[in-house]
C-alpha cells in the first residue's frame, strides 16, 4: 500500500506544512538548518520516506511563511485617507453591491509613486469597467471594514493580499493589459459572447453562471432560490465542467479520426484555456490540475491516482495562497470530491437492489455523499444548510451535462458557423429555464433552508443509519425503522417552531419591540442583526427574538445599564449567540449591566467600548456612536451618559437616542434623519420642537408601556411631534411591535398589532 501511495503522502506532507504556515511563521535560518538535518537522514534507507515527507513539510512551512509575508506587505496601507490620481488594471469581473460596484484590480501607480499590489476598487453604481482594462481615475484610499456578522471583509481581502480599498469615480480606460492576463481576458470575453448569442435576461444569466461562474446577471430572488435549493454550487465552476470539456475534446477527436496522442494534447490545451477564461477559483483549479495530470499520465503511460491528483491540486492552491485553506470554496470543493471518492461506491452498491435507473442511483449517491461532507462546512461558514439539496440535484442532473456540452460546442462553432451557435444557444436557453424553475420550486418548499444544528446532525446521521441498517439482523430492522419513523416527525415539528418567524430583510429593517415601559430595538440587514437595548426582564426579549427567527446577533448594545433598557441582557446573552457586546463603560453603577458583562466574560464574548467617534459596519449598514464622550462620574444621571447611535443605510438615517434628551443630543448632529426613536419614552422635553425642526424625520417611534405611571408619552411631546408636516408617528403602547423598513432610498412602516 505504501509503495503505491508514497507520492501522494509526500504531497500531503507539503500541504500540511503550507497550512501550518498560517499559524506559525518559520524564519529562513531555521528552515535552512532543518532541511540540512533532514538531508543527512536520507542516508539511512529505512528513514528515507519519513525524512523526505518531513523535509517537504518543513519546505512547505517555509515557503508558506515567505508567501504570507509577501501577501502581508502593502505600500498603500500607510496612506489610508489620502486622495490622488491612480492607475489600475481590472483583474476580474465587477460585482454589484447595494450601493457601489466592487471591482478587483491591481494598482500600478498612485499619485507619483509606482506600486504593484492588488486592491479592491469601489465605483458608483452604473457602467462596469471591462476586465483587463487599464483605468485612470482619482481615488481615495480607505481601510477595509473590520469583522462583521457573517462576513469578515478585512480578513477575506487580506487572504488575497488586498489591504486597502480605493474609492473612485469618473474612470476612463487608457489601455488594455497584455501577456497571460490579456489572453485570459480575451478568452473570457469570447466564451461569454458565444455561449448565449441571441439570448437575453434570465436564461443568459443562468448560462453565464453555470459556464463561467458569473452570477452578476441573476436577480437576487433567483440567487436566493439557488442557495435555498442547494444548487448554488452550479454557479461556481466545478470539476464537472472541466470533465465535460476534456471528454468532449476526446470524443470530438475520436469522431474526426484524430489519434489519441494529439487528442490528449488538445484536451490539455482546452483545459488550460478554460481555466484561464474562468479565473483562479479553487474548484476549477483543482479540476484543471486533475484533468491535465490525467492526460499527462496517459501520455507518459503512468497509472492514474485520483488521490494524487487531488493532493497536487491542493498543493498548488496552497502554495500560491496558504490562507486559501480558510476559504469556504476550498473547503467545500475538496470535501465534496473526497466524499465522492470514499462514499459514492458504498452508497451505489447499497442502492443497486432498488428499482431505480442507473443514472438516478448515481445522482442520488453523489448528492448524498456531497451533502454529508459539506453540511457541517455550510453550517459553520454560513449558518445554514439546504434540506432538499438531494432532490434539487437529482432534478437537474440530466440537464447539466447537455447544457455544458452545448455551451462549449457553441464557443467552438461561433467563429466559423454563427448560425449553428445561435440554434444551440436557443436550445440551451430552455435547459437554463428548466434549471431556474427547479431552483424556485425546491426553494419554495417548507423548511428548504435551515440554520438548525439538529438538522445538520440529521443529514449526517440518516445516511449513516441507512448503511448500518443493512448490517442489522432482519429481526432488529423493524424496531430501527420504527425509531426513525418516530424521530423524523419530531424533527419536523421542532423545525416548524416558531411559526411567527419573519423572512430575513432585503434591505434595512428596524423593529422596535413591544417591551412595555422600556426600550429594545432590533436593527437588521441581510448580513445580520444588532440589538440596541434589551428591555426589562419580564419582556422576555430573548423569546421575542426567537419568534422573529433571530438566533444570532452581530452585536448587543448596552446603552445606560438601567433596568428598562438592560434588564433582559443577561437572558439574551445566555440564550442567543452574540458576537460582541458594545458597552459605553460609564462610571454609573448598574447591577443589570454588571451581570450582563459577567455573562459575556463567562462566554468569552468580546466587549467593545462604545464611545463618541467609534463606528462599525454590517453589510450596507453603518453604525456611528455620537455619545457618550467619556465615562462621566458615578454620580451622573445615566440618561446623560447613555449611548446615542446614528444608523445609516444608503441615503436613510435613523437616530437611536435611548433616554438622551435634547440637552444631550442637540449638539451632536447637524443633519436630517428619516427615522427617529423618540428619547426617554416620550417624556417632556422642552428642546424637542427645535430639534425636530432640524431633524425633520419622516417616521418617529415612541417605545412606552400601556397605562404607565409616568404618563408617557407626554402631551407636550405629542404636540411637538405634530408640528412636523407629514410625520408618521408610531407608539408601542398603542400599535404594539413597530417595524420600519427601507431599501436605502425609501422608508415605510407597519405595526404588528
Lowest mean pLDDT segment, chosen from 414-418, 478-482, 645-649: 478-482
Inter-helix orientation angle 282-299/239-255, to 10°: 40
Lowest mean pLDDT segment, chosen from 49-53, 104-108, 202-206: 49-53
Lowest mean pLDDT segment, chosen from 74-78, 416-420, 468-472, 704-708: 468-472
What pLDDT is attached to residue 467?
56
Contacts of 703 (CB under 8 A, 6+ apart): 512, 513, 515, 518, 519, 520, 521, 677, 678, 681, 732
Could you give the percent of the chain with pLDDT greater than 70? Answer: 81
DSSP for 431-487, written as a single string: HHHHHHHHHHHHHTSTTSEE--HHHHHHHHHHHHHHHHHTTS-GGGHHHHHHHHHHH
And the C-alpha cell for 730?
Answer: 408610531
Please report which confidence band the pLDDT of residue 498 belongs to, taking 50, 70 and 90 as the band edges.
very low
609-624 residue pLDDT tens: 888 888 888 888 999 9
**pLDDT(500) > 50:** no
Q: Please give the C-alpha separations between residue 413 and each of 244, 419, 421, in angstroms, as whole numbers.
A: 17, 9, 6
Average pLDDT value for residue range 358-382: 71
What pLDDT is attached to residue 340?
75
CB 556 within 8 A of CB 577: no
Number of neighbouring beta carbons within 10 Å of residue 458: 20
Please report which confidence band the pLDDT of residue 356 belongs to, taking 50, 70 and 90 as the band edges.
confident
Domain architecture of the chain: domains with CATH: 2-72 (no CATH), 77-177 (2.40.50), 192-326+388-451 (no CATH), 508-751 (3.60.15.10)
What pLDDT is attached to residue 146?
58
- Bridge partners of 119, per DSSP, are 105
Q: Please tell me the distance from the alpha carbon of residue 586 to that of residue 532, in angstroms, as a whole number.
A: 17
**pLDDT(588) > 60:** yes
What pLDDT is attached to residue 300?
54
pTM (two decimals): 0.57
Higher pLDDT, 261 or 724: 724
Q: Please tell me the distance from the alpha carbon of residue 582 to that of residue 560, in angstroms, as a whole number.
A: 11
Average pLDDT value for residue range 650-678: 86
Chain-centroid distance, C-alpha 437: 24
CB 286 within 8 A of CB 239: yes
- Bridge partners of 728, per DSSP, are 699
Average pLDDT value for residue range 706-722: 89
What pLDDT is attached to residue 414?
80
Higher pLDDT, 584 or 300: 584
Higher pLDDT, 353 or 61: 61
What pLDDT is attached to residue 549?
82
Please report which confidence band the pLDDT of residue 525 belongs to, taking 50, 70 and 90 as the band edges.
very high
- Bridge partners of 104, per DSSP, are 120
What pLDDT is attached to residue 3?
44
Q: Please tell me the distance from the alpha carbon of residue 434 to that of residue 717, in angstroms, as a whole number.
A: 58
**pLDDT(544) > 50:** yes
What pLDDT is attached to residue 739?
93
719-749 residue pLDDT tens: 999 888 889 999 998 888 999 999 888 899 9
Higher pLDDT, 473 or 536: 536
Higher pLDDT, 147 or 154: 154
**pLDDT(530) > 90:** yes
What pLDDT is attached to residue 496?
44
Q: 628: cis peptide before it, omega within 30°?
A: yes
**For the chain, what percentages of helix, strand and coil (3-state, to nearest 5) are there?**
50, 15, 30
Q: 236: cis peptide before it, omega within 30°?
A: no
219-250 residue pLDDT tens: 777 877 887 787 777 776 666 677 767 776 77
**pLDDT(8) > 50:** yes
And the C-alpha cell for 3?
Answer: 509503495
**pLDDT(264) > 70:** yes
CB 568 within 8 A of CB 539: yes
Please report which confidence band the pLDDT of residue 494 belongs to, taking 50, 70 and 90 as the band edges.
very low
Mean pLDDT across the chain, nearest whole number? 79
What pLDDT is attached to residue 505?
83
683-692 residue pLDDT tens: 988 888 888 8
And the C-alpha cell for 88?
Answer: 489600475
Lowest mean pLDDT segment, chosen from 52-66, 122-136, 145-159, 345-359: 145-159
Lowest mean pLDDT segment, chosen from 511-515, 659-663, 665-669: 665-669
391-437 residue pLDDT tens: 887 788 778 778 877 887 788 778 888 888 888 888 888 998 999 89
Show the CA angle centred on residue 588, arms to residues 666 and 613, nearest 5°.
45
- Find cell 508558506 and name the residue: 64
Contacts of 507 (CB under 8 A, 6+ apart): 98, 525, 526, 620, 649, 650, 741, 742, 743, 744
What pLDDT is attached to residue 317?
80
Please report which confidence band the pLDDT of residue 147 belongs to, taking 50, 70 and 90 as the band edges.
very low
Amino acid at each position: 500500500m505504501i509503495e503505491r501511495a508514497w507520492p501522494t503522502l509526500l504531497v500531503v506532507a507539503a500541504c500540511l506544512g503550507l497550512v501550518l504556515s498560517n499559524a506559525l511563521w518559520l524564519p529562513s535560518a531555521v528552515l535552512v538548518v532543518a532541511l540540512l538535518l533532514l538531508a543527512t537522514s536520507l542516508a539511512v534507507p529505512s528513514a528515507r520516506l519519513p525524512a523526505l515527507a518531513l523535509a517537504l513539510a518543513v519546505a512547505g512551512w517555509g515557503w508558506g511563511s515567505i508567501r504570507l509575508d509577501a501577501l502581508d506587505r502593502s505600500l498603500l496601507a500607510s496612506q489610508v485617507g489620502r486622495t490622488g490620481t491612480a492607475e489600475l488594471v481590472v483583474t476580474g469581473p465587477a460585482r454589484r453591491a447595494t450601493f457601489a460596484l466592487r471591482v478587483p484590480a491591481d494598482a500600478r501607480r498612485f499619485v507619483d509613486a509606482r506600486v504593484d499590489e492588488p486592491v479592491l476598487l469601489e465605483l458608483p453604481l452604473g457602467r462596469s469597467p471591462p476586465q483587463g482594462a487599464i483605468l485612470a481615475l482619482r481615488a481615495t484610499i480607505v481601510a477595509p471594514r473590520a469583522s462583521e456578522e457573517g462576513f469578515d471583509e478585512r480578513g477575506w481581502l487580506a487572504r488575497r493580499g488586498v489591504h486597502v480599498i480605493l474609492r473612485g469615480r469618473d474612470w476612463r480606460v487608457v489601455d488594455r493589459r497584455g501577456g497571460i492576463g490579456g489572453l485570459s481576458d480575451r478568452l473570457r470575453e469570447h466564451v461569454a459572447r458565444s455561449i448565449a448569442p441571441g439570448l437575453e435576461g434570465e436564461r443568459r444569466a443562468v448560462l453565464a453562471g453555470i459556464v463561467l461562474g458569473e452570477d452578476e446577471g441573476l436577480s437576487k430572488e433567483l440567487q436566493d432560490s439557488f442557495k435555498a435549493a442547494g444548487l448554488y454550487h452550479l454557479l461556481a465552476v466545478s470539476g464537472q465542467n472541466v470533465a465535460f470539456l476534456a471528454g468532449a475534446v476526446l470524443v470530438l477527436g475520436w469522431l474526426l479520426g484524430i489519434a489519441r496522442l494529439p487528442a490528449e494534447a488538445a484536451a490539455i490545451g482546452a483545459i488550460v484555456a478554460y481555466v484561464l477564461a474562468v479565473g483562479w477559483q479553487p474548484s476549477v483549479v483543482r479540476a484543471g490540475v486533475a484533468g491535465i495530470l490525467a492526460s499527462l499520465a496517459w501520455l507518459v503511460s503512468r497509472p492514474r491516482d485520483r488521490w494524487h491528483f487531488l493532493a497536487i491540486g491542493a498543493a498548488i492552491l496552497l502554495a500560491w495562497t496558504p490562507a486559501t485553506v480558510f476559504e469556504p470554496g476550498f473547503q467545500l470543493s475538496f470535501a465534496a470530491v473526497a466524499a465522492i471518492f470514499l462514499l459514492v461506491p458504498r452508497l451505489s452498491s447499497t442502492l443497486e437492489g432498488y428499482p431505480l435507473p442507473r443514472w438516478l442511483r448515481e445522482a442520488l449517491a453523489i448528492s448524498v455523499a456531497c451533502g454529508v461532507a459539506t453540511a457541517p462546512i455550510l453550517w459553520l461558514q454560513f449558518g445554514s444548510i439546504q434540506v432538499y439539496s438531494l432532490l434539487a440535484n437529482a432534478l437537474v442532473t440530466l440537464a447539466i451535462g447537455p447544457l455544458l456540452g452545448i455551451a462549449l460546442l457553441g464557443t467552438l462553432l461561433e467563429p466559423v458557423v454563427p448560425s449553428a451557435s445561435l440554434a444551440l444557444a436557443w436550445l440551451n436557453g430552455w435547459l437554463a429555464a428548466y434549471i431556474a424553475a427547479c431552483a424556485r420550486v425546491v426553494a419554495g418548499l417548507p423548511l428548504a433552508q435551515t440554520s438548525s444544528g439538529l438538522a445538520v446532525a440529521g443529514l449526517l446521521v440518516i445516511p449513516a443509519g441507512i448503511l448500518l441498517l443493512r448490517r442489522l439482523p432482519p429481526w432488529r430492522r423493524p424496531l430501527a425503522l420504527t425509531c426513525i419513523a418516530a424521530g423524523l416527525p419530531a424533527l419536523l415539528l421542532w423545525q416548524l417552531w416558531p411559526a411567527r418567524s419573519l423572512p430575513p430583510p432585503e434591505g434595512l429593517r428596524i423593529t422596535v419591540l413591544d417591551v412595555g415601559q422600556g426600550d429594545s430595538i432590533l436593527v437588521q440587514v441581510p448580513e445580520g442583526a444588532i440589538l440596541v437595548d434589551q428591555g426589562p426582564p419580564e419582556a422576555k426579549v430573548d423569546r421575542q427574538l426567537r419568534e422573529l427567527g433571530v438566533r444570532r446577533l452581530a452585536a448587543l448594545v448596552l446603552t445606560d445599564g438601567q433596568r428598562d433598557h438592560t434588564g433582559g441582557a443577561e437572558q439574551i446573552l445566555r440564550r442567543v449567540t452574540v458576537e460582541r457586546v458594545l458597552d459605553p463603560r460609564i462610571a454609573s453603577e448598574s447591577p443589570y449591566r454588571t451581570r450582563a458583562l459577567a455573562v459575556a466574560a463567562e462566554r468569552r464574548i468580546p466587549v467593545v467600548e462604545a464611545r463618541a467617534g467609534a463606528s462599525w459596519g454590517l453589510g450596507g449598514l453603518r453604525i456611528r456612536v455620537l455619545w457618550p464622550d467619556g465615562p462621566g462620574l458615578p454620580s451622573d444621571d445615566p440618561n446623560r451618559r447613555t449611548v446615542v447611535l446614528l444608523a445609516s443605510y444608503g441615503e436613510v438615517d435613523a437616530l437611536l437616542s435611548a433616554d438622551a434628551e435634547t440637552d444631550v443630543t442637540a449638539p451632536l448632529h447637524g443633519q436630517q434623519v428619516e427615522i427617529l426613536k423618540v428619547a426617554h419614552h416620550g417624556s417632556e422635553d422642552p428642546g424637542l420642537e427645535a430639534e425636530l425642526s432640524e431633524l425633520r424625520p419622516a417616521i418617529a417611534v415612541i417605545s412606552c408601556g400601556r397605562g404607565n405611571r409616568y404618563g408617557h408619552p407626554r402631551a407636550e411631546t405629542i404636540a411637538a411631534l405634530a408640528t412636523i408636516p407629514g410625520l408618521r408617528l408610531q407608539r408601542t403602547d398603542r400599535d404594539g411591535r413597530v417595524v420600519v423598513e427601507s431599501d436605502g432610498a425609501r422608508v415605510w412602516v407597519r405595526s404588528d398589532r
